[in-house]
A and B are shown apart, each in its own frame.
Chain A
Amino acid sequence: MTGCFNFINPLAVTEEPGTTAGDFYTRNFEKKAVPGRIILNLGPQHPSTHGVLRILCEMDGEYIVRCEPVLGYLHRMHEKMGEVKTPWQFIPNMGRVDYLHPLAWTWAFVGACERLAGIEIPERAEYLRVISCELNRISSHLLWWGAFVMDLGGVTPILYAFEEREKINDILQIITGSRLTMSSFRFGGVCTDADERFKSLAKEFIPYLRERLKMYKGLVTDNIILRRRLEGIGPMDADICRRYGATGPILRAAGLARDTRKDFPYSVYHKFDFPVPAGPANDCFGRYLVRLSEIEASLMIVEQALASLPEGSHIMEKAPKANWKLPAGESYMAVEGARGQVAVHVVSDGGPKPYRVKLRAPGFSNLSLFAEAAAGTLLADAIAILGSLDLVIPEVDR
């Protein structure tokens, strides 16, 4: 048996424990640690950090005494790129900031530029934006659902979620032209009009997903192991959400029915009747339930928007061309993304490129809660809390 062992000389390994181990963050973190406790690096390559998040943990046995997220492994300078590209060139960047809900980001940037220039887009374009953004939100929540249950050890649901997600991608592909980093919104409208095939597929999808959601409830939500793993774990009340600026399902699970679509209505959201699910509990299970209810709320919006889709053009008559210059001034647009309030602040000095583009990522604020919420929990619970925050690391790091 040893014949197939390719031995690596153990003497060739020169690393001395304790002297060179760890980087700047680890050594700094270790200074406050109680001797005898384990310093554990959760990530950047870890199955449950969904990307390259790194969490430094001081562990007492299985308990996390103190932890600290270390960011920046996926920093891609999107804000800087906003300053060196024209607004037209910057649109595809937004689809790459958060690859699970790209249309919310595209909308925030395009909307901020339109507000700055005072552009009114056709109503049909607004409807198409709402439909595609809500379908995109559903696909993002579905993927979160699968990945969250996978964090808890149930490997099967993510494949069920992907089945639905594929259907949404098939639908969105017709009007956005892509399946992952969609960025089909243009200044003055959207790039492609909805055809009959899009409308019929989307109409078929709504009752289909409602049936599937019932199956999800029976299969996963009511599972006794899942409930015991989630109920009472990682409570985050309104106070901690306010202190860290958490938005989205986390804030709503804490009992505050805050939703940008209702509180600061943009586009045509005021024309639709949809609930903002809040509560019932501020633990992991509450956040789980809020997200599943949001899928249903989004389905309601899509249903109403498809039924009342107005005729007309999908893009305005004299839409800005590629050489379009933003007028001088600044504007801000906040959009309700799948993870919380997505916002873009554009400052322009009238030149061909924006002076400054500030991206407000909800995941960044939501992640900030983690260190406080996870202190004193078991490692398995910390993984559940991390999963319930629904982080997309590219968005956190930008």
Chain B
Amino acid sequence: MSALYQSLVNGTMMGAMYGLTALGLTLIFGVMKVVNFAHGSLLMVGMFAAYWLLKITGMHPFLALLIVPPLLFVFGYYLQDLVIKPVFKSERGVREPLTVIIVTTGVWYVLDNLALMLFGAEYRTVRTAISGTSFSMGEVIVSWPKFAGFVVSMLTAVGLWLFMLKTRTGKALRATSMDREAANLMGIDQYKIYNVAFGLGTAIAGVAGCVIIPFYYVYPSVGVVFDIRAFIIVVLGGLGSIPGAILGGVVIGIIESTFAQFMTSTWTEAIIYGIFLLILFFKPSGFFGNKQDW
């Protein structure tokens, strides 16, 4: 029985972090109606930023949370402004701009290969203050870095939710996501809003980088490990939905962790994809998705 509790706890914690990796993706899609294929690479950039910061300064990973996400925000803001916006403008009037998706794929390849050239293919980990530490809850052993990741993921999701609900910029983001023309007519500069959305999405990838690096490793194509899962989570939770991303993440995490106790982990991967297909068949809008997006 303790193995089951252990799996549930671990699955929930990992799942919340999967949700965090999906949060940026779902935000960017919600506002821009663009599937950002570069999302995994942005996560990789976040992980490398956290890696180097922790490696060089040896600071506590929680402190890195104050530095990496703002840096990544600036990176994402200008990436959208300089690379994606021009293509976006030429696709004006299309609801789901296809060429922008292709541009994000280009960004993915460029970033991954740049990282390969700069840092090489090797796996890098950094021993932080919380790496390898754990505490016991009865029979269940809880890893500190994962527990911290769980808490940070939840706080980030709640923070983003409040930001969208309460602030002027948040309202502008939501208005643009509902109807970009109408938002434009109300005096919202949609391209600036896209910059902000992309910046925020990238900053969240930075948060994810900071919480993952104390227990995982980084290498140039690490994004692939997380982004396929992130896509599944986004569809499961509903495209554009913040609580959907976290809930979807936790569901995937728990399936991955507990099912593996009854079958080999090779099988759990297949089951996750199977569920993904079933969702697409029977409830393509996911848990909290907006029907009109389909």
A and B held together in a complex = no
Residues of B that sit less than 8 Å from A by CB? none
Residues of A that sit less than 8 Å from B by CB? none
